[in-house]
């Protein structure tokens, strides 16, 4: 029982930190060959106050440069694994859950959030947000 309480406390603390709107401050894209690009980017991610069953999020990001242009617009539910720093995002499209996206969080403080994920093509996306 003593081992469960610190883990639950850490989980609740991280959920509380995530709650709210985060503004994108930088975005880096790394292709399959290892080349990094820093396109102009804007947008935000919002994490809803989480109850015991569902945690909702929404994200709207646009980026553009001569090498890469795109967007990431989605909404769904999220969960955390505080032990390994994984933020799981599950987009919901037309009421249907899509494949879960695993994002590695390297920083989560009251004012800073950094996470990255690798897409199906092996490209890495690095996001830095501020509250």
Cα-based angle 40, 43, 46 (whole degrees, multiple of 5): 155
- Residue 11 within any structural domain of the chain: yes
For the chain, give the percent of residues with pLDDT over 70: 92
Query: Which CATH number does the domain housing residue 50 bear?
Result: 2.40.128
Q: How does strand 86-93 pair with strand 101-108?
A: antiparallel
DSSP 48: P
Q: How many CA atoms does the CB half-sphere of 80 hold within 13 Å?
A: 26
Please say if the pLDDT value at position 18 is more than 50. Answer: yes
- Residue 14 within any structural domain of the chain: yes
Predicted model pTM: 0.87
The total of structural domains in the chain comes to 1
Q: What is the pLDDT of residue 96?
A: 96
Q: Which tokens sit at 13? A: 């603390």
Reported as a pLDDT band with limits 50, 70 and 90, residue 4 is very low
- Residue 131 within any structural domain of the chain: no
Q: CA-CA distance, 70 to 106, in Å (whole number)?
A: 24
| Full residue range of the structural domain in which residue 27 is found | 4-126
pLDDT tens figures, 65-105:
998 899 999 999 999 888 898 999 999 999 999 999 999 99
């Amino acid at each position: 029982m003593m081992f469960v309480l610190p883990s639950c406390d850490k989980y609740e603390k991280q959920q509380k930190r995530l709650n709210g709107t985060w503004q994108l401050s930088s975005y880096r894209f790394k292709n399959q060959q290892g080349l990094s690009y820093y396109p102009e980017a804007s947008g935000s991610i919002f994490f809803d106050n989480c109850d015991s069953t569902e945690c909702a999020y929404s994200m709207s990001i646009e980026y553009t440069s001569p090498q890469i242009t795109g967007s990431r617009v989605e909404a769904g539910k999220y969960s955390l694994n505080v032990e390994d720093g994984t933020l799981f995002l599950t987009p919901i499209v037309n009421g249907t859950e899509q494949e879960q996206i695993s994002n590695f969080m390297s920083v989560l403080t009251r004012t800073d959030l950094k996470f990255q994920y690798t897409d199906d093509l092996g490209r890495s996306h690095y996001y830095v947000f501020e509250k």
